[in-house]
Amino acid sequence: MVRQYETVFIMTPVLSDEQMKEAVSKFQTFLKDKGAEIVFEDHWGLRKLAYPIQKKSTGFYHLIEFKAEPALIAEMELEMKRDERIIRFLTVSLDKYAVAYNEKRRREKEAAKAEETK
């Protein structure tokens, strides 16, 4: 049974842009290879953490929204635990209301961007 998930992960701030993009592409490739469909991605950039993690006060945030089998989540989280570049991650299963909310929010952002370019 395919479900929709949202994963936010925080990468260590000492990474270069190239290393950060390589870490993101690693998990994109992992998901695609395991048969997941990536619905949406958003890079939030460098943000201040609410509390220090591993003596770091900032981190690169990245969000991936995808559809996958529930068994894939445990595999992906194990890969994230093994990757030294990832300092925190959270995967949430989205119900139909959350999926609808995310789609509505994306449409509104696209409409706002379209208005800006006019």
> Is residue 11 within 8 Å of 59, Cβ to Cβ?
yes
- In this prediction, residues 52-74 reach a mean pLDDT of 93
Using CA atoms, how far apart are residues 115 and 6, in angstroms rounded to an integer?
28
The reported pTM is: 0.86
Rg of the chain over Cα atoms, rounded to whole angstroms, equals: 15
**pLDDT reading at 112 higher than 90:** no
> What digits encode the pLDDT tens for the residues 15-45?
888 999 999 999 999 999 999 999 999 999 9
Mean pLDDT in residue range 47-60: 93
**What CATH number is given to the structural domain containing 33?**
3.30.70.60
Domain count, the chain: 1
Residue 54 DSSP code:
T
β-bridge partners, 66: 5, 38
* Separation of alpha carbons 7 and 18, rounded Å: 21
Domain coverage including residue 72: 3-117
Helices in the chain by DSSP H: which ranges? 17-33, 70-82, 96-117
